[in-house]
């Protein structure tokens, strides 16, 4: 893999992404920088490595799929992204989705028909989870709640 040093064309040493990479202890390389910029500016918050690769190609970047996987794994280890294994209801194995780590806890709903991922936070659900864990003699260290949903069919009443 080509390592791009500071001063390399396309590497802005003052960008927010550059600071984030440094803060995470990662060397600033063009692939890392482009992938972080893409995640930060993506219209969808939850993307697969294939999605990232396609978007990079659409932007004219020459970054291979193996590099995308490697960078996303590095980002996960460094705490820059969170990896989720969402089941899309297709019967295929769940595929990893990545989202930027923004520090705020939230849960997810996955629409089994559209594949859309909806983020939500509910104080009552959080409180109930704490109560359930305590009732069984545990304390929650971390958790992930994913609801697999389908749009409700509205019945017409006469």
The residue from 103, 127, 142 where one domain ends is: 103
The residue from 103, 126, 142 where one domain ends is: 103
**Residue 73 CB partners (closer than 8 Å, separation 6+):** none
Indicate if 58 and 113 belong to the same structural domain: no
The answer to whether the CB of 8 falls within 8 A of the CB of 30 is yes
Indicate if 90 and 138 belong to the same structural domain: no
Indicate if 51 and 114 belong to the same structural domain: no
Per residue in 58-72, pLDDT (tens digit) is: 999 999 999 999 999
Note the pTM of the prediction, 2 decimals.
0.75
Residue 5 has pLDDT above 50, yes or no: no
Indicate if 76 and 33 belong to the same structural domain: yes
Tell me how far the alpha carbon of residue 100 is from its chain's centroid: 5
The residue from 103, 127, 145 where one domain ends is: 103
User: Could you list the residue range(s) of the whole structural domain that residue 128 is in?
Assistant: 104-158
Q: Which helix (H) or strand (E) holds 110?
A: strand 107-111
The structural domain count of the chain equals: 2
Per residue in 100-133, pLDDT (tens digit) is: 988 888 999 999 888 888 999 999 999 999 999 9
Tell me how far the alpha carbon of residue 141 is from its chain's centroid: 20
């Amino acid at each position: 893999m080509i390592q791009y040093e500071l001063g390399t064309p396309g590497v802005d040493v003052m960008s927010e992404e550059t600071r984030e990479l440094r803060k995470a202890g990662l060397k600033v390389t063009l692939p890392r920088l482009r992938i972080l910029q893409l995640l930060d500016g993506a219209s969808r918050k939850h993307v697969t490595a294939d999605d990232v690769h396609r978007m990079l190609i659409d932007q004219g970047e020459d970054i291979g799929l193996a590099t995308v996987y490697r960078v996303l794994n590095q980002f996960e280890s460094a705490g820059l992204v969170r990896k989720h294994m969402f089941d899309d209801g297709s019967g295929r194995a769940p595929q990893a989705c990545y989202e930027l780590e923004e520090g705020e806890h939230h849960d997810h709903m996955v629409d089994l028909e559209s594949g859309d991922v909806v983020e939500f936070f509910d104080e009552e659900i959080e409180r109930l989870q704490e109560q359930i864990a305590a009732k069984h003699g545990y304390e929650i260290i971390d958790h992930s709640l994913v609801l697999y949903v389908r749009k409700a069919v509205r019945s017409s009443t006469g």
